[in-house]
């Protein structure tokens, strides 16, 4: 694998909606590498929920540059098939660069999670990791995952919930305003808490939920991940927060960081279920 590229100041998680327009795409590759390292146990648990066996075909929607491919390959073996799909041309190109000569049974395609370019029941299992947060219609994206999965196959989705972020600050009012704006910045900022209900509504059976806490003790990392300072600047420009109040709020967080007292927390949801014969009716168009 290539050496890691440092994450630049231009990076923010909101940029994943259009990585092809990003000035420093390598920063987004680096963030995915770092996230995969940090949360490897969570990713392994989500893959375990797919119940893959040698010879299975599995679809990885929002595959990025393929960080999950080696793990999936361990499960399906040389006789299996892995297809990675991503909405970013840059991600697909990087994935192909990394894995074209790997010998692993993987192919990558460009496409939308809202209209998967595959026939019905093409895969034994399908997964998506931090994808529904950014799509315009999470229900349709889940319906597509179900559509391309065989009866008896498994679907697993991992999502964050921007509405469940918290940061330790004595200014509760400003903190609430900033975090509410963070949750509203993405089309599905509250997708983590909605995911289980979406699986049930889609007719998936045996729905399982695992919760993964995230702890950040670095202001720089937290700001870089969420683009907090840029968000606060936008709220000041909109006159939602007074400039002096915003500056005091940020200064307090930086002071806490300098004194090793900075604390922010979040939560990821990992939800999985099985497609039954009856599931098809639940996800039919217009239902």
Domain count, the chain: 1
Q: Global pTM?
A: 0.86
Residue-wise pLDDT tens digits, 200-250: 999 999 999 999 999 999 999 899 888 899 999 999 999 999 999 999 999
Judge whether 284 lies within some domain.
no
User: Cβ(69)–Cβ(52) under 8 Å?
Assistant: no
6 found inside a domain: no
The whole-number pLDDT of residue 185 equals 86
Decide if 2 is inside a domain.
Answer: no
Whether 287 is in a domain gets the answer: no
Per the domain annotation, does 156 fall within a domain? yes
Q: What is the pLDDT along the chain (287 residues), one digit of tens a residue?
A: 333 445 455 555 556 666 666 667 777 777 777 777 777 888 899 999 999 999 999 999 999 889 999 999 999 999 999 999 999 999 999 999 999 989 999 999 999 999 999 999 999 999 999 999 999 999 999 999 999 999 999 999 999 999 999 999 999 999 999 999 999 988 899 999 999 999 999 999 999 999 999 999 999 989 988 889 999 999 999 999 999 999 999 999 999 999 999 999 999 999 999 999 776 555 544 43
**What does each C-alpha distance from 85 to 41, 159, 216 come to in angstroms?**
23, 17, 30
Positions of E strands within 5-148: 57-61, 81-86, 106-110, 123-129
Q: How far apart are CA 73 and CA 241, in angstroms?
A: 49
Q: Is residue 89 part of a domain?
A: yes
Residue-range definition of the domain harbouring residue 20: 13-277
Strands 205-216 and 149-160: unpaired
C-alpha distances out from residue 33 to 25, 26, 75, 134, Å: 13, 10, 20, 19
- Which CATH number covers residue 92? 3.40.50.150
């Amino acid at each position: 694998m290539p050496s890691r590229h440092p994450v630049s100041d231009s990076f923010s998680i909101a940029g994943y909606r259009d990585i092809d327009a990003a000035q420093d795409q390598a920063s987004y590759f680096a963030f995915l590498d770092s996230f995969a390292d940090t949360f490897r146990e969570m990713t392994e648990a989500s893959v375990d929920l797919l119940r893959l066996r040698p010879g299975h075909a599995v679809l990885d929607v929002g595959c990025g540059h393929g960080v999950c491919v080696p793990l999936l390959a361990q499960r399906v073996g040389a006789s299996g098939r892995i297809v990675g799909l991503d909405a970013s041309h840059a991600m697909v190109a990087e994935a192909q660069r990394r894995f074209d000569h790997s010998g692993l049974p993987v192919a990558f395609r460009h496409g939308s999670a809202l209209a998967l370019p595959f026939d019905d029941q093409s895969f034994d299992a399908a997964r998506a990791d931090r994808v529904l947060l950014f799509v315009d219609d999470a229900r349709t994206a889940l319906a597509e995952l179900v559509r391309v999965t065989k009866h008896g196959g498994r679907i697993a989705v991992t999502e964050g919930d921007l509405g469940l972020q918290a940061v330790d600050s004595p200014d509760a009012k400003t903190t609430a305003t900033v975090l509410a704006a963070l949750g509203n910045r993405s089309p599905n900022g509250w997708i983590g808490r909605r995911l289980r209900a979406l699986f049930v509504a889609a007719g998936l059976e045996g729905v399982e939920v695992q919760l993964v806490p995230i702890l950040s003790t670095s202001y720089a990392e937290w700001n870089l991940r969420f683009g907090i300072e840029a968000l606060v600047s936008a709220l000041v420009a909109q006159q939602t927060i007074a400039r002096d109040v915003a500056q005091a709020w940020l200064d307090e967080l930086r002071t806490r960081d300098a004194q090793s007292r900075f604390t922010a927390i979040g939560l990821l949801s990992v939800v999985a279920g099985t497609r039954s014969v009856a599931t098809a009716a639940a996800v039919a168009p217009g239902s």
